[in-house]
Amino acid sequence: MKVLLLEDVYKLGRAGDVKKVAPGYARNYLMPQGMAVLATPGAVKQAGRITKQGEVKRAKVNQELGGVAGQLAGRRFTFAAKASETRRLYGSINTQMIAEAVSVAIGVPVEAKQIESQPLRMLGRHKLFVRLTVDLIPEIEIIVHREGETVESALAEEEREVLRVKEEQALLKEQEASGLEAGFAGDEFDELEDADFPEDDEEDVDLEADSEEDETD
197-214 pLDDT, tens digit per residue, is 555 554 454 544 454 555
What three-state secondary structure class fits 68? helix
E strand or H helix at 209, and its extent?
Answer: helix 200-216
Q: Which of 38-42, 84-88, 127-131, 152-156 has the lowest mean pLDDT?
A: 152-156
CA distance 45 to 164: 61
CA distance 115 to 17: 24
Which homologous superfamily does the CATH classification assign to the domain defined by 78-159? Ribosomal protein L9, C-terminal domain (3.10.430.100)
Q: Which of 79-83, 172-176, 187-191, 208-212 has the lowest mean pLDDT?
A: 208-212
Where, residue-wise, is CATH 3.40.5.10 in the chain? 2-70
Where, residue-wise, is CATH 3.10.430.100 in the chain? 78-159
Q: With cut-offs at 50, 70 and 90, classify the pLDDT of residue 172.
A: confident
User: Over 80: is that where the pLDDT of 4 sits?
Assistant: yes
**CA distance to 34, 78, 111, 141, per residue, from 160 (Å):** 50, 20, 35, 19
Which residue type occupies 130? V
Q: Give residue 184's pLDDT.
A: 62
Q: Give residue 182's pLDDT.
A: 66
CA distance 64 to 57: 11
- Domain boundaries 2-70, corresponding CATH code: 3.40.5.10
Q: Give residue 178's pLDDT.
A: 80
Mean pLDDT of 86-95: 94
